[in-house]
Amino acid sequence: MIIEQAEVVVTSPDRNFVTLRLTTEDGLVGLGDATLNGRELAVVAYLREHVVPLLIGRDAHRIEDTWQFLYRSAYWRRGPVTMAAIAAVDVALWDLKAQAAGMPLYQLLGGASRTGLLAYGHASGRDLPELFDSIRDHLDQGYQAIRVQTGVPGLTAIYGIASNSTGVRYDHEPAQRGARPAEEDWDTRAYLRHLPAVFDAVRNEFGPELPLLHDAHHRLTPIQAARLGKALEPYDLFWLEDATPAENQQALRLVRQHTTTPLAIGEIFNTIWDYQELIREQLIDYVRSAVTHTGGITHLRKILDFAAQYQIKSGIHGPTDISPVGMAAALHLGLAIHNFGIQEYMKHGTRTNQVFHQTFTFTDGHLHPGDHPGLGVTLNTDHAGTYPYEQAYLPYNRLTDGTIHDW
């Protein structure tokens, strides 16, 4: 199964996506997602200039060998750009191998360990009435687990709210098109005062059973995160995500000592080394890495197998900046592993769904990758070509005194 052609397709239907498309001599087409939100073209250049020339003529069956070759022969290891590029190659090779075998990819990964994947969606509102409407809307769509984000009094534009006070709706996700990143404001004390009351109100309205999640998006110090985890204990969160900035694994030890609120982290990690202490010392409960940003199925599987030894489960990142290709890869992996926890799922827009034809399903709050050979996603290159790349940036934060803060 020799790789004859490797193309990097950039398209921007509802937002920018980078897709690697491998074609074999036998005419099979495999897809891999290489989308790195806000830094897309860096991965495009890495792939086009440095990886594509190495792929032509290789045996597409040699997935582990190709992974090790790309990782070790670069000499410069890790990092989001490198690992997204390797991920795209890895997923495209798994797609090809499963198509060649005539099986859905999850079969090659060991077969189904469950009938469907519990998914959570993103409810949000500037205030409680808006938030309650959003939760009800998600329940109507069938979601059985819900992430809750709200506005904070005194702050005008903060992470996770589908519309801000200027009435401008995010295009499904936080990156915004334009030549400069949007500035948002942040005040940790105001947030810490406000959030427990929000969860109190949500539990009163929707009862004790609904799994609720929350994303603190890297903004807290360890002691602030510990306090928040403790304050939220009465509301029985499924998880508190990214409580502290991710680089310092030690921070989680302090948080852990103070709270029984389950902790999830890792959407911006890119290798198993970022998790080494967190997993071995059981400082977290859920691994947030995406297939797309963590070296593909081959590497994320190793992280999740390591995590399984410590009863730590998957919580694979699934915002709209993961393309339908990256999402399908997550679903095949999630269906196969034993230590599946939950899958994040924000729906893509109609333009995206025209560019990427998908066969995965969402029924009664559960995702299933479908039973088509391979990933089950095809790329309509004609449609893709009608949506050229548009510059977009993730926002950034300033405190009230003007200091840049973690976003």
Q: Which residues are catalytic?
A: 159, 217
215 binds ligand EZ4 (CB under 6 A): yes
The whole-angstrom separation of Cα 206 and Cα 221 is 30
For the stretch 399-402, contacts whose Cβ atoms lie closer than 8 Å and that sit 24 or more positions apart, written own/partner, are 399/185, 399/186, 399/187, 400/185, 400/187
Min separation Cβ 324 and ligand EZ4, Å: 15
Report the distance separating Cα 407 and Cα 395, nearest Å: 7
Closest distance to Co ion from the beta carbon of 147 (Å): 9
- Of the pair 7, 406, the CB lying nearest ligand EZ4 is at 406
Residues 299-338 that bind ligand EZ4 (CB under 6 A): 319, 321
Q: Kindly tell me which of 99 and 150 has the beta carbon lying closer to ligand EZ4.
A: 150
**Angle formed by the axes of helices 251-258 and 222-232, nearest 10°:** 30
When computed from its CA atoms, the radius of gyration of the chain, rounded to whole angstroms, is 21
What are 356-359's contacts with CB under 8 Å, separation 24+?
356/17, 356/323, 356/324, 356/325, 356/380, 358/324, 358/327, 358/328
| Residue whose CB is less far from ligand EZ4, 285 or 321 | 321
C-alpha span between 279 and 305 (Å, rounded): 11
In the complex, minimum distance from the CB of residue 173 to ligand EZ4, in angstroms, rounded to a whole number: 6
Given 33, 90, 184, 267, the residue binding ligand EZ4 (CB under 6 A)? 267
Q: Does 184 bind ligand EZ4 (CB under 6 A)?
A: no
Q: Residue 184 binds which one of ligand EZ4, Co ion, none, with CB within 5 to 8 A depending on kind?
A: none
**Whose Cβ is closer to ligand EZ4: residue 174's or residue 324's?**
174
Q: What string marks each residue from 163 to 202 as x (binds Co ion by CB under 5 A) or -?
A: ----------------------------------------
Report the b/e string of 186-217 with b at 16+ CB within 10 A.
bbbebbbebbbebbeebbeebeeebbbbbbbb
Q: 3-state SS string over 352-385?
A: HHHHEEECCEEECCEEECCCCCECCEEECHHHHH
Residue 174 interface partner, choices ligand EZ4, Co ion, none, CB cut-off 5-8 Å depending on type:
ligand EZ4
**Comparison of 289 and 352: residue with beta carbon closer to Co ion:** 289
Selected from 40, 90, 95, 215, the binder of Co ion by CB under 5 A is 215
Query: Angle at CA 216, nearest 5°, toward 215 and 219?
Result: 150
Q: For residues 35-74, which are near ligand EZ4 according to CB under 6 A?
A: 37
Name which position in 151, 174, 229, 324 contacts ligand EZ4 (CB under 6 A): 174
Residues that bind Co ion (CB under 5 A): 215, 267
Residues that bind ligand EZ4 (CB under 6 A): 37, 174, 215, 217, 267, 319, 321, 394
